[in-house]
């Protein structure tokens, strides 16, 4: 049983955490380089939030938005 858990440890430490170790070493030389993934994800999220708000505004301008408070039976 001990070998099974050592195998799991080896899998994570030797293989699956290698990208994290590389980012940790990169942070010592450049902070922006180590956080490039975060910047990319924040940019993607910001783009889709703007897209979502534009779509909401488009539906509101076409009067397709239902704002009936009795849409749910528990609100009657």
Per-residue confidence (pLDDT) for residue 73, from 0 to 100: 67
Per-residue confidence (pLDDT) for residue 34, from 0 to 100: 85
pLDDT above 70 covers a percentage of the chain that reads 86
Instruction: With cut-offs at 50, 70 and 90, classify the pLDDT of residue 27.
Output: confident
Asked if residues 33 and 26 have their Cβ atoms less than 8 Å apart, the reply is yes
What confidence tens digit (pLDDT) does each residue in 37-57 have? Answer: 899 999 999 999 999 999 999
Per-residue confidence (pLDDT) for residue 60, from 0 to 100: 87
Structure tokens at 20: 């994290």
Residue partners of 59: CB distance under 8 A and separation at least 6: 65
Instruction: With cut-offs at 50, 70 and 90, classify the pLDDT of residue 70.
Output: low
In the block, residue with structure tokens 């170790």: 21
């Amino acid at each position: 049983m001990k070998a099974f858990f050592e195998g799991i440890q080896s899998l994570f430490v030797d293989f699956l955490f290698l990208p994290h170790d590389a980012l940790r070493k990169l942070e010592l030389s450049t902070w922006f380089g180590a956080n490039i993934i975060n910047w990319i994800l924040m940019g993607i999220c910001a783009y889709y939030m703007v897209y979502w708000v534009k779509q909401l505004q488009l539906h509101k301008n076409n009067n397709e938005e239902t704002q009936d408070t009795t849409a749910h039976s528990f609100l009657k």
